[in-house]
Amino acid sequence: MVTQVQNKLLRLIPTDELSRVLRLCERTKLVPRRILHHYKLPMEYVYFVESGLVSVAARVGRDKFVEVWLIGSEGLVGAPIMLAANAAPLHRRTVQVAGEALRIRTREFCEILGSLPQLRSVVERYLAVVLAQTSQSGACNSYHGLKHRLARWLLVARSALADDEIPLTHGVLAELLGVRRASVTECLEVLQNEGTISTKRGLVKVENYAELSSICCNCFRLIEGEYRRLVLSAVGADSDVEVSAPRIRSPLIEIDQYISDRDLGGSSS
Amino acid sequence: MVTQVQNKLLRLIPTDELSRVLRLCERTKLVPRRILHHYKLPMEYVYFVESGLVSVAARVGRDKFVEVWLIGSEGLVGAPIMLAANAAPLHRRTVQVAGEALRIRTREFCEILGSLPQLRSVVERYLAVVLAQTSQSGACNSYHGLKHRLARWLLVARSALADDEIPLTHGVLAELLGVRRASVTECLEVLQNEGTISTKRGLVKVENYAELSSICCNCFRLIEGEYRRLVLSAVGADSDVEVSAPRIRSPLIEIDQYISDRDLGGSSS
DNA sequence: CGCGAACGGTACGATACCGTACCAGAAGCC
DNA sequence: GGCTTCTGGTACGGTATCGTACCGTTCGCG
């Protein structure tokens, strides 16, 4: 039986629904490099991440995968299963940063979705965010330079981990981004010289969040804004999930602010 | 009142549900360069595409958009709305190739989804395919060279259009792919010299589908396979949608075939 | 039929990123 | 404590793609 819950999606649903979900949950450790869902194989469980980081990667070559989205305690590993039984076996889901998760058998998960409307609604909105994140990252991949993409990745990971310290090696970062390890090393050094991050062996630490954001392309802000707008702000005030920035007020806002957002024109790589 | 329907999703649902949908539909022309959904503005309609091509693009800079997925008569423009009221305003949806569509007001669409389970199921599965397409393209963008990506794009467009002739200029292709117009011209010439396509002013024609497929990275096959697997093959035999290649048999198949798929290792750009 | 705009072929130097490789320091392990 | 393994810093030439620009041809339109 599970008691204290860190997962942000679960913390958004009312206690009666929550307790019904938790009855089916099992707490497990997330061990780095472990594969939660293999490419082209059925998903046995879905995982509400409590801590740590899971990356979802698409296959682009023999034994070659590139990350397409990223999941931390703000999300759910396996959400696409709700769209189609056996959806999304195109991806491989790998633990990148150690942590814990609450897992449910996919069949049971799909069944309770029918009787828990709040849970369903939250997961649906989360899935919309996954689509937004994936598409924005994909566009970013083809248009922005590595420095921007790396900054974006670090910022997304920081949000997902809820921690400034991201315990990953350059090699792993390179794999996730689909670039050379040496390119990551060079780029990280540039960012470090600018004072926005620091690095140790096997660790990248975000030192200056605000400045890293301003270096990054706008893609990060769009992704994070979408999470706030669709998942967090759509819930009543009974939620105790803290939002680290002011909530976006309502469905569609501040169009001009977005459109004239400063560091957009200058793709000063 | 609408009679004959070309849209593949609509043709998959039973006639009783279909007629209820069509009562709410209005047939409209798709005019090239017209924007169906503006960035950051609410969607008024969703569009079941009958013919032509609509591209969904994410914003990567001031007045700079890169395509993230593509919709033809096999799909629905605005599907993410079912996940969250006012979802996906991060994208701009633009008609690229002239055609027609059946449109429904988003509110009415969301309402009837509740009472038409077959429609809901088909659209949900289509949405899973959109996620697969988007993520695969995104990964492809960061890993494969332009020649591969261009080939992939042409193949996806050919499927969506159900036509070997793709009436687009080099400039438009470049915009969609997020690259230089001149790069597209050069790449198209290479493909043309290999005999897989031919070009005229404002037109690219796929001359040799099989060979273009074999030049392309595997990403196209993954995308198309996912559509067949999730959308087409999940429906009873009462469907009259023709499938141009043998159906994939069942949810999870031929793992080894996929994994040892030949032209994967050699990303011979 | 003639004009202007759109389109596509081509060129140039610049540069971001590649593949590969080598090595030194740090960490884990017996 | 000494060994192996992992990690990250650095270097090299190679190449795909970039930004920009010019210009002839084709098309649409009046």
Bridge partner list, A103: A26, A47
Distance separating alpha carbons of residues B135 and A136, to the nearest angstrom: 10
Distance of B146 CA from C14 C1′ (whole Å): 19
Nucleotide nearest to A199 in CA–C1' terms: D8
One digit per residue, the tens of pLDDT, for chain A of length 269 reads 556 899 999 999 999 999 999 999 999 999 999 999 999 899 999 999 999 999 999 999 988 999 999 999 999 999 999 998 876 678 999 999 999 999 999 999 999 999 999 999 999 999 999 999 999 999 999 999 999 999 999 999 999 999 999 999 999 999 999 999 999 999 999 999 999 999 999 999 999 999 999 888 889 999 999 999 888 876 654 444 444 443 333 333 333 333 333 333 333 33
Cβ burial of B207 (10 Å; 0-12, 13-18, 19+) is middle
Q: Decide if B230 and A135 are in contact by the 8 Å CB cutoff.
A: no
Nucleotide nearest to B204 in CA–C1' terms: C8
Q: What is the mean pLDDT of residues B248-266?
A: 35
The two three-digit tokens of residue A107, written as one number = 């069949």
The reply to whether A145 Cβ lies less than 7 angstroms from strand D is no
pLDDT at position B234 is: 65
Residues 6+ apart with CB under 8 A from A134: A68, A69, B131, B134, B135, B138
- The nucleotides of chain D lying under 7 Å from a protein CB are 6-11, 16-21, 26-27
Of the two residues A50 and B263, the one the predictor is more confident about is A50
pLDDT band at B242 (very low <50, low <70, confident <90, very high): very low
Instruction: Supply the mean pLDDT for chain B.
Output: 86
Pick from A208-217, B40-49, B245-254 the range whose average pLDDT is largest.
B40-49
Interval B64-117: pLDDT, tens: 999 999 999 999 999 999 999 876 678 999 999 999 999 999 999 999 999 999
Best residue in B76, B90, B261 to probe A by mutation, most A CBs within 10 Å? B90
Distance of A233 CA from C28 C1′ (whole Å): 46
The reply to whether B66 Cβ lies less than 7 angstroms from strand D is no
pLDDT at position B43 is: 93
Distance separating alpha carbons of residues A160 and A162, to the nearest angstrom: 6
Nucleotide nearest to A184 in CA–C1' terms: D8
The reply to whether A169 Cβ lies less than 7 angstroms from strand D is yes
Residues present in chain A in total: 269
Q: Which of A14-28, B9-23, B236-250 has the lowest mean pLDDT?
A: B236-250
Nucleotide nearest to B171 in CA–C1' terms: C7
Q: What share of chain B is helix, strand, coil (3-state, %, to 5)?
A: 45, 20, 35
Element (H, E) at A78: none
Instruction: With beta carbons under 8 A apart, name residues in chain B contacting A149.
Output: 142
What's the one-letter identity of residue A215? I
pLDDT greater than 80 at residue B258? no
pLDDT at position B8 is: 96
Bridge partner list, B46: B104
Sign of CA dihedral A136, A139, A145, A146: positive
Distance separating alpha carbons of residues A38 and B207, to the nearest angstrom: 37
Secondary structure of residue B215 in the 3-state scheme: helix
pLDDT at position A123 is: 96
Interval B156-192: pLDDT, tens: 999 999 999 999 999 999 999 999 999 999 999 999 9
Q: Phi and psi for B119 in degrees, rounded to 5?
A: -60, -50
Q: What is the mean pLDDT of residues B224-250?
A: 60
DSSP state of A264: G
Distance of A144 CA from C11 C1′ (whole Å): 25
Instruction: With beta carbons under 8 A apart, name residues in chain A contacting B60.
Output: 139-140, 143-144, 217-219, 267
Is residue B122 within 8 Å of B23, Cβ to Cβ?
no
Quick one: closest CA in B to A90, which residue?
Answer: B132
Q: Phi and psi for B14 in degrees, rounded to 5?
A: -60, 155
Distance separating alpha carbons of residues A31 and B28, to the nearest angstrom: 53
pLDDT at position A82 is: 95
Instruction: With beta carbons under 8 A apart, name residues in chain B contacting A183.
Output: none
Best residue in B83, B123, B140, B259 to probe A by mutation, most A CBs within 10 Å? B83
pTM, full prediction: 0.87
pLDDT at position A1 is: 55
Distance, in angstroms, between A40 CA and closest chain B CA?
6
Q: Decide if A88 and B132 are in contact by the 8 Å CB cutoff.
A: yes
The two three-digit tokens of residue A238, written as one number = 């009974």
Instruction: With beta carbons under 8 A apart, name residues in chain B contacting A85.
Output: 251
